[in-house]
Structure 1
Amino acid sequence: MTNREFLKGVTVGALLTGALTVGGFTGWMKASASDSVVSDKSTKAKLEYLEKIIDANYLEEKDEEALAEGLYTGLLYGLGDPYSRYYTEEEYDRENKENEGSYSGIGVVITENSEGGILVTECYEGGPAELAGMEAGDVISAVDGEDITEKTTAQVSQMIKNDEDGNVVLTIHRTDVEEPLEITVSVTDVELPTIYSDMLEDHVGYLRISEFAMVTPKQFEEQFGGLQEMGMEKLVIDLRYNPGGVLSSVCGVLEQILPEGMIVYMEDKYGNRQEHTCEGKTPLEIPLSVLVNEESASAAEVFAGAVQDYGIGTIVGTTTYGKGIVQTIIPLSDGSAVKLTTAKYYTPNGNDIHEVGIKPDVEVKLDTSLLNKENISREDDNQLQAALKALGE
């Protein structure tokens, strides 16, 4: 494993998300106006006055639709909850695609290049870009002959996704290749890899789960099955830097290894309880270690908490992030949506880990000398070595 693959950082605190459909705005109109912020006379008067100030003084033309979207955004922002927010239709569509773990594209990770163009930092294994011959380190300078050296990654992504004939021609500059390359790549549905697997020495399987997307349970089943076919006798699951994801996804993975019983349960402010249980058809019967750190959050903590409560594995690393609250996405009839913190979740034994986290059974901090290394061997990874040792104890 190279380029610090297991330490690949992502945004901390991804949301443990459920979906709740609300049929438009009519339900809100039945609510009492007396306790409504937006119907308060002083609030309405101030908003009208602010708009008059804009009309009288703002240099450019105002966009009334954008101003309205700003009001909705501000209403949710006023909760002071970093996990609650308003989505425009476009943002909600993007959020859904991210949760699904698949999208229309060519299977690359890109970033803006300091010298112009777009740098390809990763090609997904088996994806259209890799199959067409693209490599990490390639720099894209044109899409279908159109220069993109001054465009953002978002703009280039849209150009590629919106290609009408299903194939895009990319002009590529590659180190040690004198002339630019023109590579034709198919634009298709790409499944994001959320699980990396390998067989270590002594028949120890290794699974790193980067996030819990809708595609993760299927990928886990495939990768886990492949390791079993290779003769796996012990297993390490690496959840370090896993920011969480979708609740149904982590439950779908845990259903493949837990005995019969509770996976996780949630309670809202009214005391209503929702449970997720496991039938226990395929309980894990080999030694297990689960690696976590302070950036293992949300759904990753659901996973670690269930493993710890059932005693089917040893949790190794440092105390997790401590995000034990649930966000529900509520779609609206105009295509927009709101995401609200609606409940707390609890481990099977009833542990509330919000702002507490999951404490490892074996506490091991990552050797700080490794943080600045580009290439870290498994032998140098002291947390992994501790997890391997725990398998034999």
Structure 2
Amino acid sequence: MQKRAFWFALVPVMLMVLGWLGWTPPALALTEEQRLVSEVWRVVNRAYIDETFNGENWWKVRQQALRSPLRTREDAYEAIEEMLAKLDDPFTRLLRPDRYRNLQVNTAGELTGVGLQIAIDADTKQLKAIAPIAGAPADLAGIQPGDVILAIDGVSTESLTLDEAAGRMRGPVGTEVTLQVERFDGGAIEDIALVRDRIALHPVMADLRTVENSPNTQIGYIRLTQFSANAAEEMAEAIASLENEGADAFVLDLRNNPGGLLQAGIEVARLWLNDSTIVYTVNRQSILGSFDAGHEALTDAPLVVLVNPGTASASEILAGALQDNGRAKLVGERTFGKGLIQSLFDLSDDSGLAVTVAKYETPNHKDINKLGIMPDFVVKQNPIQRNEVGTESDRPYQTAVELLTESGVMAKAG
């Protein structure tokens, strides 16, 4: 009798353990919508960086989500978003099929919309501009990093997720969208009408400059606007071309570069670094991984990197690697401070799931999340027009040129 009681008591314990692993008894067949919710739960359970799940009982969260009435796919999406919201992590999010396709197109090299990278501020929960894409409608209209987006076509952004806001800004070429913007530098609120356009992502712009007061010095100016899939290839072409034209030194402009693909950032760093650690990654078990550069740098010419509050994510990985390895000096203002890494997971209904899976540290083990990287030379950006970026009117750029032309300030990297 005692044995029967023991096994009877053990059965619910075993079911609890199996349930925690994501197993569901065959008798309790799930609907298609419930399976999608459960699929998302399992991905987060396995991969999310915080094994406490923001202090939530993650198994209980799953049970609550599955008890919701899930009659339609939209019901399932809403249950998933409610489940993910408990993590209090705006970067871990559901990407509905159309938005997931848009994201894949974006990183591949082309999109339609206003060309504005956005994020939800971790402290204020406001929707903020990280950086406009160079030459895109948002850039031409003068939207700046740090500007708060209060409304999109009259819809308050307080009630919108990051992807919902991005989706409202996208749309067919030639259509109009109005953003209500609160300026970061003075608090002025204005409505800005933008006409959506096709945005070809050629992330690298480069040219050779002769220094006016040092005619024997040729500087290669490279502006990198985003880490899309073709960023490393275009960067390699720019470095090789400028060196062939006689570049003695380089200015790499990462201002308003919001990041992009982690792997693209690693590949770009390898073009500048020899035999160095580029970045460390730290997962939920606090296990360190790293990405390293071999002996394949394309140039050892002196280098200065320009950064500002719009320099984020993969841009900060690159800037931190170049700074910590002594390969370059950083000029400008403190960077944005996004030190988290997301992975994208395909879901069974063609939607996607972005999950924060790790954080990164610079080669000197600096955790920059919410802190940013402080440049070696702090130079506040002076008010300039868009066409004055990288010219003598651009104070941080001029500081970079002065560093490169002052004798002994910048030695070649070995």
- Smaller-chain TM-score range? 0.5 to 0.7
TM-score by length of 1: 0.64
Counterpart of 1:319 in structure 2 is: 334
Counterpart of 2:388 in structure 1 is: 376
Counterpart of 1:81 in structure 2 is: 89
Shift of 1:155: 5.1
After the TM superposition, which of the residue ranges 197-206 and 232-241 deviates more from structure 2?
A: 197-206
Any unmatched runs of 5+ in structure 2?
1-37, 47-56, 117-133, 137-167, 176-197, 211-216, 410-414
Preserved CA contact (<8 Å) 1:100 1:214: yes
For each residue in 1:219-255, what CA deviation from the matched residue of structure 2 results, as whole angstroms up to 9, or x when unmatched? 1011111111211111000000111111100111111
Specify the SS of the correspondent of 1:294.
coil
Instruction: Report whether the alignment pairs 1:156 with 2:164.
Output: no
For each residue in 1:86-140, what CA deviation from the matched residue of structure 2 results, as whole angstroms up to 9, or x when unmatched? 011221111111122246x8xx9799xxxxxxxxx969xxxxxxxxxxxxxxxxx
Instruction: Report whether the alignment pairs 1:328 with 2:343.
Output: yes
Write the letter of the residue equivalent to 1:82: P
Q: Note the 1:1-393 alignment, pairs <5 A.
A: 25=39, 28=42, 35-40=59-64, 47-48=68-69, 64-102=72-110, 156-157=172-173, 192-201=201-210, 202-282=217-297, 284-367=299-382, 369-370=383-384, 373=385, 375-376=387-388, 378-392=391-405, 393=409
Shift of 1:26: 10
Label 1:196 to 1:67 Cα distance change in 2 as closer, same or farther (>3 A): same
Write the distance in 1 (CA, Å) between the matches of 2:359 and 2:269: 19
Label 1:203 to 1:352 Cα distance change in 2 as closer, same or farther (>3 A): same
Write the distance in 2 (CA, Å) between the matches of 1:288 and 1:93: 37
For each residue in 1:322-347, what CA deviation from the matched residue of structure 2 results, as whole angstroms up to 9, or x when unmatched? 11111111222221121111211011
Write the distance in 2 (CA, Å) between the matches of 1:336 and 1:238: 35
Preserved CA contact (<8 Å) 2:343 2:357: yes
Write the distance in 2 (CA, Å) between the matches of 1:362 and 1:28: 46
Specify the SS of the correspondent of 2:388.
coil
Write the distance in 2 (CA, Å) between the matches of 1:257 and 1:307: 8
Label 1:229 to 1:366 Cα distance change in 2 as closer, same or farther (>3 A): same
Specify the SS of the correspondent of 2:304.
strand
Preserved CA contact (<8 Å) 1:109 1:122: no
TM-score by length of 2: 0.61
Label 1:28 to 1:81 Cα distance change in 2 as closer, same or farther (>3 A): closer
Shift of 1:27: 9.3
Preserved CA contact (<8 Å) 2:107 2:229: yes
For each residue in 1:134-153, what CA deviation from the matched residue of structure 2 results, as whole angstroms up to 9, or x when unmatched? xxxxxxxxxxxxxxxxxx98
Write the distance in 1 (CA, Å) between the matches of 2:258 and 2:40: 35
Label 1:280 to 1:158 Cα distance change in 2 as closer, same or farther (>3 A): farther
Preserved CA contact (<8 Å) 1:239 1:291: yes
Write the distance in 2 (CA, Å) between the matches of 1:355 and 1:34: 26
For each residue in 1:255-290, what CA deviation from the matched residue of structure 2 results, as whole angstroms up to 9, or x when unmatched? 111011211110112123321111122263211000
Equivalent residue pairs, number: 282
Label 1:88 to 1:212 Cα distance change in 2 as closer, same or farther (>3 A): same
CA-based RMSD: 3.4
Preserved CA contact (<8 Å) 1:199 1:205: yes
Write the distance in 1 (CA, Å) between the matches of 2:271 and 2:387: 33
Specify the SS of the correspondent of 1:261.
strand
Specify the SS of the correspondent of 1:279.
strand
Write the letter of the residue equivalent to 1:78: K
Write the letter of the residue equivalent to 2:109: G
Write the distance in 2 (CA, Å) between the matches of 1:360 and 1:34: 40
Specify the SS of the correspondent of 1:264.
strand
Write the letter of the residue equivalent to 1:379: E
Specify the SS of the correspondent of 1:39.
helix
Preserved CA contact (<8 Å) 2:40 2:80: no
Label 1:382 to 1:153 Cα distance change in 2 as closer, same or farther (>3 A): closer
Label 1:243 to 1:228 Cα distance change in 2 as closer, same or farther (>3 A): same
Label 1:210 to 1:236 Cα distance change in 2 as closer, same or farther (>3 A): same
Write the distance in 2 (CA, Å) between the matches of 1:374 and 1:287: 27
Counterpart of 1:142 in structure 2 is: none
Write the letter of the residue equivalent to 1:38: R
Specify the SS of the correspondent of 2:274.
coil
Q: Which has the higher contact order (CA 8 A, sep 6+)?
A: 1
Label 1:283 to 1:110 Cα distance change in 2 as closer, same or farther (>3 A): closer
